[in-house]
Amino acid sequence: GERSPVRRFNLNNVTITPDPIANREAVLILTPMARFYQEYWDNLLKLDYPHDLISLGFILPKTREGNAATAALQAQVTKTQKGPLQNRFRSVVIERQDFDPPIISQDEGERHKMENQKVRRASMSRARNSLLFTTLGVDTSWVLWLDADIIETPPSLIQDLAAHDKPLIVPNCYQRYTDPETGKPAERPYDFNNWQDSPTAQEIAARMEPDEIILEGYREMATYRSLMAYMADQEDERDVEVPLDGVGGTALLVKADVHRDGAMFPPFSFYHLIETEGFAKMAKRLGWSATGLPNYKVYHYNE
Ligand code: GDP
Ligand code: MN
């Protein structure tokens, strides 16, 4: 028969459960991308959550580097979406950032300088919000924020995190490197934005001007927060949970209802927090708390 011009969604059928594969729950993977790494794409392809339930969304800056990354990404998307059926994703959206003067490419050292952080993270917030609000669907159950430089995760990342049934959940983001002393492969913590709050950080915040923000991982601003980066313990099980007050966005699984409730990435000082850390605070104010998995590791590219 003729196709109805009205698309109907029965939202009562959209579930958000600890068994998302059995319940055919749609996942939206969102990635802000300044550089394209083949290792990121290869890892994405290896995720064994059914690809026909995964939508991908990307946002890239309009810089020279962003143009190159867009071309490389488009080539891989085309290849995958024309390839074997079981590898193909449900849909792919690629956006270009048309707000903010583009931030010229910064290497790891430069972008981590404290004075560069506020402008950079405000801009990142706008990129994340813009991507989120244009891609979140009525039938999206889960949103996985995954940075473009996360190059290694367990293939079962999505279902493993979802099994915890938490509104916001983050694995521990590490970085592999070669130990210069032993010449042997080693790993070190990378993402310091997953933390539990401290009285010292509260006092720092209380003395700040309204638009000032607290940054984590800087000697100049010792917060004495408890960082999940340092909570990994080989003796413990992989699924040990810790409560968190701040989260990073390198890999972060969110129940879509949290975003639908209005929690986003503040591009301004929100309780002296910004971007993903501000998001955790905003979610908490809406009644959704954050959880971390110190022993469940994902790996960041080493520049
Ligand atoms: P860091 O690892 O915390 O130092 O942050 P990154 O520089 O890796 O940025 C986090 C994520 O945002 C990565 O996926 C980057 O590729 C991406 N990214 C960085 N700068 C921009 C930007 O200006 N626009 C967009 N859309 N993405 C960006
Ligand atoms: Mn990164």
Which tens digits make up the pLDDT trace of 130-186?
A: 999 999 999 999 999 999 999 999 999 999 999 999 999 999 999 999 999 999 999
Is the shortest distance between the CB of 32 and ligand 1 below 6 Å?
yes
Q: What would the mean pLDDT of 248-274 be, rounded to a whole number?
A: 97
Comparing CA positions, the residue from 103, 153, 185, 151 lying closest to residue 253 is 153
Q: What would the mean pLDDT of 22-31 be, rounded to a whole number?
A: 98
Residue 215: partners with Cβ closer than 8 Å, 6 or more residues away: 114, 117, 221
Comparing CA positions, the residue from 137, 175, 161 lying closest to residue 26 is 137
- Predicted pLDDT of residue 109: 78
Mean pLDDT of the chain: 94
- Predicted pLDDT of residue 100: 74
Selected from 3.30.750.24, 3.40.190.80, 3.90.550.10, 3.40.50.720, the CATH number assigned to the domain covering 11-153+166-300 reads 3.90.550.10
For a ligand 1 pocket test, name from 147, 191, 274 the mutation site with the most ligand atoms within 8 angstroms of its C-beta.
147
Is the shortest distance between the CB of 151 and ligand 1 below 6 Å?
no
Comparing CA positions, the residue from 130, 72, 65 lying closest to residue 104 is 65
3-state secondary structure of 270: strand
- Predicted pLDDT of residue 113: 73
Q: How is 175-229 classified by DSSP, letter by letter?
A: EEEE-TTT-SEEEEE-----EE--HHHHHHHHTS-TT----SS-GGG---PEEGG
Comparing CA positions, the residue from 103, 125, 115 lying closest to residue 269 is 125
- Predicted pLDDT of residue 5: 76
State the pLDDT confidence band at 1, using cuts at 50, 70 and 90: low
For residue 3, the tally of other CB atoms under 10 A from its CB is: 6
Q: What would the mean pLDDT of 91-97 be, rounded to a whole number?
A: 97
**Tokens representing residue 100 in the block:** 């903010």
Comparing CA positions, the residue from 27, 76, 73, 29 lying closest to residue 50 is 27
Nearest ligand to residue 34 Cα: 1
pLDDT, one tens digit per residue, over 272-303 is: 999 999 999 999 999 999 999 999 999 999 98
pLDDT, one tens digit per residue, over 186-237 is: 999 999 999 999 999 999 999 999 999 999 988 888 999 999 999 999 888 9
CA dihedral 136, 75, 107, 125 (to 10 degrees): -10
| CA of residue 182 to ligand 1 center, whole Å | 31
The answer to whether residues 247 and 194 touch, using CB atoms and an 8 Å cutoff, is: yes
Percent above pLDDT 70 for the chain: 97
